[in-house]
């Protein structure tokens, strides 16, 4: 089944896109809306979703909703349907498309007006409440709080009768309102960072040919990504299991669009640190940072971060730098701003949905109050993976 259309009212209708061929036909309209989404366009553009689906669709099913106002697409809602275990039972789950590699997940709108956005999301909820009923839970994960994204979603919820639960996903460190040079930025960093970077740079320079190199195009991209993975294999991070080649293809995509900022530190032509950034629409996004553990005492990650910051501030003229996922203390040293990514879990008005609503919203919170019940809660939660 390729697509079906459903009338919402006299002006609005929703069309389902459920196969990849119909999805590919959406590239032009998709990107016309993506261009209107501001800084997060790289993670909402057609190429991002195509790349993601190529790597991660697997046995899941596509459900992209196109909201029409008369004959014009005004909202795209990209969903995925999966069958999985949740809180110990088998459920049919619908997520906004994405996974751990997706910094944000959201809708694409043609409108800038918040009231229109809220109304359009309400029609999406109406579709799931009254037309498309074959699901147990809806999970909206990693919704940004800036630009009123999360608040608009909450306003739309008030117009539905769906039971739901809000939850915290992760923190996001960032630096904005950049109106100074890279050197001025470095001068204003905490003293401990400045001293460590300067001292370790001098040590490495004494050890031989020490070089910072930045790749921003597709020339020899496979060679440079081989170097990136070489450093990654010697870093502290766990080996990627869900998408071991995703960043190679993402680098090619970013290079095609002029977004790629792949940085290296070389010592005697040997890569000791690498960072994968994307720079687009006055914003630089830090996707991945890795360094060779054998050189940990020389702080190669800090040195490379300082060089990358200077580059995007002085050359790209960015106004914002975003660490994307995680608010660890070392990130806050570089970027004092902190915001949240939040989620909302919806339960269908069916047997499984109602059971999970009671379990998640009433029983599990009660367990938190009593130590004797926490072990039981742990057994339940461990059967479900993520714990909203």
pLDDT tens digits for range 189-214:
999 999 999 999 999 999 999 999 99
pLDDT tens digits for range 7-24:
999 999 999 999 999 999
Do 303 and 372 reside in the same domain of the chain?
Answer: no
Q: How many CB atoms lie within 10 A of CB 205?
A: 12
33-68: b (≥16 Cβ within 10 Å) or e? bbeebebbbbbbbbbbbbbbbebbeeebebbbbbbb
pLDDT tens digits for range 36-67:
988 899 999 999 999 999 999 999 999 999 99
Asked if residue 388 has pLDDT above 80, the reply is no
Do 231 and 122 reside in the same domain of the chain?
Answer: no
Do 376 and 363 contact (CB within 8 A), yes or no? no
Q: How many residues does the chain have?
A: 388
Residue 329 lies in a domain: no
* Confidence (pLDDT) at 52: 97
Asked if residue 292 has pLDDT above 70, the reply is yes
Residue 333 lies in a domain: no
Asked if residue 380 has pLDDT above 60, the reply is no
Based on the structure, what is the number of domains in the chain?
Answer: 2
Residue 325 lies in a domain: no
Task: Classify residue 326 by its DSSP letter.
Answer: B
Residue 324 lies in a domain: no
pLDDT tens digits for range 215-262:
999 889 999 999 999 999 998 776 666 677 899 999 999 999 999 999
Residue 388 lies in a domain: no
- 225-231 contacts at long range (C-beta below 8 A, 24 or more positions apart): 225/251, 225/262, 227/264, 227/271, 227/274, 228/262, 228/264, 228/271, 228/274, 228/276, 228/290, 230/271, 231/264, 231/271, 231/272, 231/273, 231/274, 231/290, 231/291, 231/292
298 lies in which domain range? Answer: 178-318
pLDDT > 90: what percent of the chain? 82
Do 265 and 363 reside in the same domain of the chain?
Answer: no
* Confidence (pLDDT) at 244: 78
* Confidence (pLDDT) at 321: 98
* Confidence (pLDDT) at 257: 96
Q: How many CA atoms lie within 13 A of 375 on its CB side?
A: 1
Please state the rounded mean pLDDT for residues 61-84. Answer: 97
Residue 330 lies in a domain: no
Do 142 and 206 reside in the same domain of the chain?
Answer: no
363 CB contacts (<8 Å, ≥6 apart)?
none
Do 144 and 280 reside in the same domain of the chain?
Answer: no
* Confidence (pLDDT) at 369: 67
* Confidence (pLDDT) at 329: 87
Please state the rounded mean pLDDT for residues 309-322. Answer: 98
What is the per-residue DSSP string for 7-25?
E-SSSEEEEEE-SHHHHHT
* Confidence (pLDDT) at 175: 97
Asked if residue 385 has pLDDT above 60, the reply is no
User: What average pLDDT does the structure give for the chain?
Assistant: 92
For the chain, the distance separating the N- and C-terminal CA atoms, rounded to the nearest angstrom, is: 33
State the pLDDT confidence band at 82, using cuts at 50, 70 and 90: very high
* Confidence (pLDDT) at 372: 55
Do 204 and 160 reside in the same domain of the chain?
Answer: no
Asked if residue 386 has pLDDT above 90, the reply is no
Residue 130 lies in a domain: yes
Q: Which of 240, 214, 238 is nearest to 227 (CA)?
A: 214
Do 288 and 352 reside in the same domain of the chain?
Answer: no
More confident residue, 171 or 366: 171
Asked if residue 378 has pLDDT above 90, the reply is no
132/91 Cα distance (integer angstroms) = 16
pLDDT tens digits for range 140-193:
999 999 989 999 999 998 888 889 999 999 999 999 999 999 999 999 999 999
State the pLDDT confidence band at 363, using cuts at 50, 70 and 90: confident
CATH number of 270's domain: 3.40.630.30
Do 54 and 87 reside in the same domain of the chain?
Answer: yes
* Confidence (pLDDT) at 381: 57
Q: Of 262, 284, 318, at which residue does a domain stop?
A: 318
Residue 327 lies in a domain: no
Do 66 and 150 reside in the same domain of the chain?
Answer: yes
Do 110 and 231 reside in the same domain of the chain?
Answer: no
What is the per-residue DSSP string for 72-111?
EEEEEEEEEEEEEEETTEEEEEEEES--TT-S----EES-
Asked if residue 371 has pLDDT above 90, the reply is no
Do 134 and 96 reside in the same domain of the chain?
Answer: yes
pTM: 0.91
Asked if residue 379 has pLDDT above 70, the reply is no
Asked if residue 376 has pLDDT above 90, the reply is no
Do 62 and 106 reside in the same domain of the chain?
Answer: yes
């Amino acid at each position: 089944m390729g697509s079906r259309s459903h009338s919402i009212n006299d002006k609005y209708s929703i069309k389902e896109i459920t196969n990849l061929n119909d999805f590919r036909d959406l590239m032009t309209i998709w990107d016309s809306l993506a261009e209107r989404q501001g800084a997060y366009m790289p993670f909402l553009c057609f190429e991002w979703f195509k790349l993601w689906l190529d790597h991660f669709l697997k046995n899941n099913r596509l459900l992209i909703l196109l909201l029409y106002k008369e004959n014009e697409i005004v909202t795209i809602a990209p969903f995925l349907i999966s069958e999985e275990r949740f809180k110990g039972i088998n459920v049919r789950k619908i997520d906004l498309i994405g996974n751990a590699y997706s910094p944000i997940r959201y809708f694409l709108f043609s409108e800038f007006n918040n009231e229109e956005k809220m109304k359009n999301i309400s029609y999406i909820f109406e579709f799931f409440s009254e037309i498309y009923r074959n699901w147990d839970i809806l999970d909206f994960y990693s919704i940004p709080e800036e630009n009123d994204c999360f608040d608009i979603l909450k306003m739309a919820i008030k117009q539905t009768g769906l039971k739901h639960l809000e939850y915290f996903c992760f923190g996001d460190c960032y630096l904005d309102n950049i109106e100074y040079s890279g050197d001025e930025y470095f001068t204003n960093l905490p003293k401990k960072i400045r001293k460590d970077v300067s001292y370790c740079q001098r040590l490495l320079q004494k050890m031989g040919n020490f070089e910072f190199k930045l790749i921003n195009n597709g020339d020899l991209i496979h060679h440079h990504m081989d170097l990136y993975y070489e450093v990654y294999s010697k870093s502290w991070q766990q080996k990627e299991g869900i998408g071991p080649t995703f960043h190679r293809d993402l680098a090619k995509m970013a290079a095609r669009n002029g977004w790629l900022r792949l940085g290296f530190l070389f010592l005697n032509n040997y890569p000791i640190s690498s960072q994968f950034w994307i720079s687009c629409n006055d914003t630089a996004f830090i996707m991945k940072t890795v360094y060779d553990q054998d050189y940990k005492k020389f702080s190669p990650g800090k040195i490379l971060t300082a060089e990358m910051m200077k580059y995007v501030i002085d050359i790209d003229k960015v106004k914002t730098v975003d660490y994307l996922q995680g608010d660890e203390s070392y990130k806050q040293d570089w970027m004092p701003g902190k915001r949240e990514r939040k989620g909302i879990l919806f339960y269908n008005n069916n047997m499984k949905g109602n059971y999970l609503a009671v379990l998640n919203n009433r029983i599990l919170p009660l367990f938190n109050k009593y130590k004797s019940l926490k072990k039981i809660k742990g057994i339940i939660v461990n059967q479900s993976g993520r714990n909203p």
